[in-house]
């Protein structure tokens, strides 16, 4: 393996580990999603539950797409990670660097921490995108040297 291919591999693995932590931290969203999907014709079905279902379902789809794509060193994993940042920041308020915002005392500091942590995640994703572009071969969409 060339030294130029080490940074994308390590960075993508690091981002995947962060996303696994996010998945573990946001597991509390799943029961509401399952409840909304299993009983769509109930009297409690409303615009709010539909919105919750779409947002949380989209978040989990983007999260899993980013994890799989980054593990397989595919460019679409980076694109899923790009889309994950605004969804988790604006719609859900979930930090993409887990467990750090819990150390802060007040709610206002946690909100700022979510924004800063997600921007840091975005910066790492941009760096990974640049490294993927640098190490790509010919017309393939897979990083050179990846299995």
The residue among 102 and 134 whose pLDDT is bigger is 134
pTM reported for the whole predicted model: 0.79
Q: Is residue 137's pLDDT more than 60?
A: no
Q: How confident is the model at residue 139 (pLDDT cuts 50, 70, 90)?
A: very low
What are the tens digits of pLDDT across the range 80-119? 999 999 999 999 888 998 888 777 777 778 888 899 999 9
13-44 residue pLDDT tens:
999 999 999 988 888 888 877 777 777 666 56
Q: How far is CA 63 from CA 1, 6, 22, 45, 58, in A?
A: 29, 24, 9, 26, 8
Distances from the Cα of 147 to the Cα of 31, 88, 143, angstroms: 36, 30, 9
């Amino acid at each position: 393996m060339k030294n130029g291919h080490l940074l994308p591999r390590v960075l993508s693995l690091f981002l995947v580990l962060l996303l696994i932590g996010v998945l573990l931290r946001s597991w509390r969203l799943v029961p509401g999603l399952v409840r909304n999907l299993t009983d769509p014709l109930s009297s409690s079905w409303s615009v709010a539950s539909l919105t919750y279902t779409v947002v949380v379902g989209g978040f989990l789809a983007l999260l899993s797409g980013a994890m799989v794509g980054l593990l397989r060193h595919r460019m679409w994993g980076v694109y899923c990670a790009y889309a994950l940042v605004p969804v988790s920041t604006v719609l859900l308020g979930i930090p993409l660097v887990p467990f750090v915002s819990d150390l802060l005392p007040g709610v206002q500091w946690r909100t700022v921490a979510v924004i800063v942590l997600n921007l840091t995640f975005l910066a790492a994703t941009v760096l990974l995108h640049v490294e993927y572009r640098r190490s790509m071969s010919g017309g393939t969409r897979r990083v050179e040297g990846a299995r």
